[in-house]
Structure 1
Amino acid sequence: MIEPFRVAVPQAALDDLAGRLARTRWPDEIDGAGWDYGFPLARLKELAERWRTGYDWRAHEARLNELPHFTTEIDGQRLHFVHVRSARPNALPLILTHGWPGSFLEFLDVIGPLSRDFHLVVPSIPGYGFSGPTHERGWDVGRVARAWAELMRRLGYERYGAQGGDFGSGISLALGAAAPDRVVGVHVNYLPTPPDPEADVTLSASDEARLDQVRRLMANRPPYQALQAATPQTLGYALTDSPVGQLAWIAERFAHWTDPRSPVDDDRLLTDVSLYWLTATAASSARLHRESARRSEACPVPVGVAVFPRDITRSVRPLAELRYDIRHWSEHERGGHFAAMEVPEPFAADVREFFLGLTGGRCAGLTPACLRPEDVQTSHPE
């Protein structure tokens, strides 16, 4: 069963958040430390004070409720998703998947532009936000992908595309592997291409520089990744009890992974952090790092790649082509890891170019229910 959902955080939860922020016990900081020891104290105090006194969750909640939200249960897990149908009845459906420490909020600025050409399904990963928490082991990238396939089936979509970044990239590629007869293509804005000493390819100096960056990252695993992969429960106690702890944990990733030329607005950042805090999903979202340690199987459907200059790593095309059927490759001038938030217009244009190029703008094969004019946003065939 698919049911309408409305975002409605109890006022008691917002009052508790304000009280905890007011009672924050701050650590000291070495003079002139900057970023050498972690997130700078002055900047975090600035964000925390904005969160406590200037940020208005209710205003952002009202804007979220302008979108059609739904929930359903798949494989014993509650799933939340936004479903926006295009005015074009024969539009190609797309499922857009976020990553960590993002959320479905990453796509807010591209829903409007993309819905002119596509039916959009924007779910929250199990364990994240309104899809959280998870209650059992095994919710890895592959299992999420299989849940997405079932979700799209329930919505009546026989053929569709998938897009994602961060974990959303892995989930989208796994969806292509799990349902190759249904997925017309996968577009990603993050595609790790680790060094492969056995690969018989010629690399440019630019490609070698990108691989050097990957080698440095592999040799010095980021602390957040190591902790979430090893002890997400232990970490969850701190982040679920301290809003400033949750703020610092997420804000540090946004600071390091965004392009300084396309920063994410403080209120958009605080909305994302609030979603983690208000749903108490710090631990369950972190578990995806532990569950998804193994490498996923190859994706047999056409793949499009958008590379943004300030991402964690930048993909190397000759290596990507050894594993995937690359049909589209773009190198962008601005943007980082959260491309849909940072540079929504180039992001949306890239997604549109790839999928319309695959289908020629034609219907990709919907069930009759999806082609009815009266089948609008609030109607979902089982």
Structure 2
Amino acid sequence: MQPFRIDVPEHVLADLRVRLSRTRFTPASDHTRWNAGADPTDLRALVEHWQDGFDWRQVEARLNKYSQYLTEVDGRRVHFVHVKSPRRGALPLVLTHGWPSCFVEMLAVADRLAADFDVVIPSLPGFGYSETPHGPFTGHRIAETWQHLMTTTLGYQRYGAFGGDIGGSVTQWLGALFPASVVGIHMTSGSLTAGIDSSAVTPDERIYLEAEQAYDAQDGGYSAIMRTRPDTIAAALTDSPAGLLAWIADKYRDWSDCEGDLKARWEADDLLTVATLYWATGSIGSSFRPYYDHPHTGPRPPITVPTAITLSHESLMAGFPRSLAERAFPNLRHFARPDRGGHFMAHEEPDYLAEELRTFFRPLT
């Protein structure tokens, strides 16, 4: 385990600025902004700010105020943030981000939890400064990596786990595989309907499951290419920073609780921080591996540990019935349906989410 500081070489930033200055923008395909994807006008403004107004060194200095480390698990490098509580014997929590996010999403929540908990924020394998795993990227494999990180590397005997999206799936695998170590799991999204017997659902549950399928069909263009031809799109996004930013910003707008107005929820520097980390590490292509490797995911064992769900306020979760959660998680102890905070809830609503986590995990210490 080695201390780590982010230090993007100056030549990487200089090359980024040159590439941004040479961006070729496409005309809009639809007169309704964002209807056909990233709006060219909004994208141009973000690209221009990335080139001339965004101060990466200032962001880098802020990120480096957090204690970051590199360690090796199963022969691969894992990057993580470790925020230690001043409270002796504090329960550790591992917080796992999703796609197209990164560890930065969890920092504001970690700040709010540090008085009561030790907080560990790993970068998913293939994201940022964590190396791509050997073999398929599955929730099962990443849960095994996190278990090693928490118990062997950091020496914790018991810990709690939280995540959304891919992080939610990893969190569920932690609860399923390591109930002797994991005191409880908390999710905002991520495979909440995995393993459900669709032949035995109630009418309300069937309505939701059909709506989920319809949403996936409408929203699934990005995932279809990432599942089937990830290297093709990765070649474009690894070479074009504007293309990379469009790919990421489209999802931050569509999945966050912003009612279609990207600027209403996100500062430009928040989006550019995420984009710069992907660009500087060249990791957008490897971040597609969970999609490409999804067919390798096997059946998940039953989850019996205490479970909490705070549903993200996004289209995919609209109408999700509590009965589905109770069917998937027999030890469901907390279920909340807030009216705010989307796919990136930890970043969007850190005060609310921190209180949700504190409420659920404090009795489990």
TM, length-normalised to structure 2? 0.92
1:213-232 aligned at under 5 Å gives the runs 213-220=211-218, 222-232=220-230
SS in structure 2 of the partner of residue 96 of structure 1: strand
Deviations 1:65-108 (A, max 9, x none): 00000000101110000011101111110000000000001012
The whole-number CA distance in structure 2 between the counterparts of 1:96 and 1:37 is: 33
The whole-number CA distance in structure 1 between the counterparts of 2:16 and 2:133 is: 25
Residue 275 (structure 1) aligns with: 277
Deviations 1:103-159 (A, max 9, x none): 001012111111111101000001000113x26431221111100000001201000
Shift of 1:28: 2.6
- Please point out which of 262, 265, 287 is paired with 1:263: 265
| Mean Cα deviation higher: 111-120 or 219-228 | 219-228
Residue 199 (structure 2) aligns with: 198
- In structure 2, relative to structure 1, the CA distance for the partners of 1:214 and 1:135 (3 Å cut) is closer
The whole-number CA distance in structure 1 between the counterparts of 2:193 and 2:142 is: 22
8 Å Cα contact 1:80-1:130 kept in structure 2:
yes
Deviations 1:218-272 (A, max 9, x none): 4446111111111111111011000001000000000101112761222111101
SS in structure 2 of the partner of residue 198 of structure 1: helix
The whole-number CA distance in structure 1 between the counterparts of 2:8 and 2:100 is: 20
8 Å Cα contact 1:309-1:332 kept in structure 2:
yes
Residue 240 (structure 1) aligns with: 238
Residue 286 (structure 2) aligns with: 284
- In structure 2, relative to structure 1, the CA distance for the partners of 1:240 and 1:183 (3 Å cut) is same
The whole-number CA distance in structure 1 between the counterparts of 2:124 and 2:26 is: 33
Shift of 1:61: 0.3
Root-mean-square deviation (Å): 1.9
TM, length-normalised to structure 1? 0.88
The whole-number CA distance in structure 2 between the counterparts of 1:342 and 1:208 is: 30
Residue 305 (structure 1) aligns with: 309
1:1-382 aligned at under 5 Å gives the runs 2-30=1-29, 32-132=31-131, 134=132, 136-153=134-151, 154-191=153-190, 192-193=192-193, 196-199=197-200, 201=202, 203=204, 210-220=208-218, 222-260=220-258, 263-293=265-295, 294=297, 296-297=299-300, 298-310=302-314, 312-314=316-318, 315-324=320-329, 325-357=331-363, 359=364, 362=365
Shift of 1:353: 0.6
The whole-number CA distance in structure 2 between the counterparts of 1:295 and 1:305 is: 23
8 Å Cα contact 1:170-1:296 kept in structure 2:
no
Percent identity reads 41
The whole-number CA distance in structure 1 between the counterparts of 2:45 and 2:219 is: 29
The whole-number CA distance in structure 2 between the counterparts of 1:30 and 1:179 is: 49
The whole-number CA distance in structure 2 between the counterparts of 1:31 and 1:228 is: 24
8 Å Cα contact 1:142-1:296 kept in structure 2:
no
Shift of 1:199: 2.5
The whole-number CA distance in structure 2 between the counterparts of 1:304 and 1:22 is: 47
Deviations 1:21-63 (A, max 9, x none): 0011222334724223221110100111111111111000000
Shift of 1:202: 6.4
SS in structure 1 of the partner of residue 317 of structure 2: coil
SS in structure 2 of the partner of residue 27 of structure 1: coil
The whole-number CA distance in structure 2 between the counterparts of 1:216 and 1:322 is: 22
Q: Could you list the runs of 5+ residues in structure 2 that have no partner in the other structure?
A: none
- In structure 2, relative to structure 1, the CA distance for the partners of 1:199 and 1:312 (3 Å cut) is same
The whole-number CA distance in structure 1 between the counterparts of 2:89 and 2:96 is: 22
SS in structure 2 of the partner of residue 282 of structure 1: coil
8 Å Cα contact 2:97-2:164 kept in structure 1:
yes
SS in structure 2 of the partner of residue 36 of structure 1: coil
The whole-number CA distance in structure 1 between the counterparts of 2:217 and 2:25 is: 32
The whole-number CA distance in structure 1 between the counterparts of 2:128 and 2:43 is: 23
The whole-number CA distance in structure 1 between the counterparts of 2:198 and 2:186 is: 27
- In structure 2, relative to structure 1, the CA distance for the partners of 1:183 and 1:263 (3 Å cut) is same
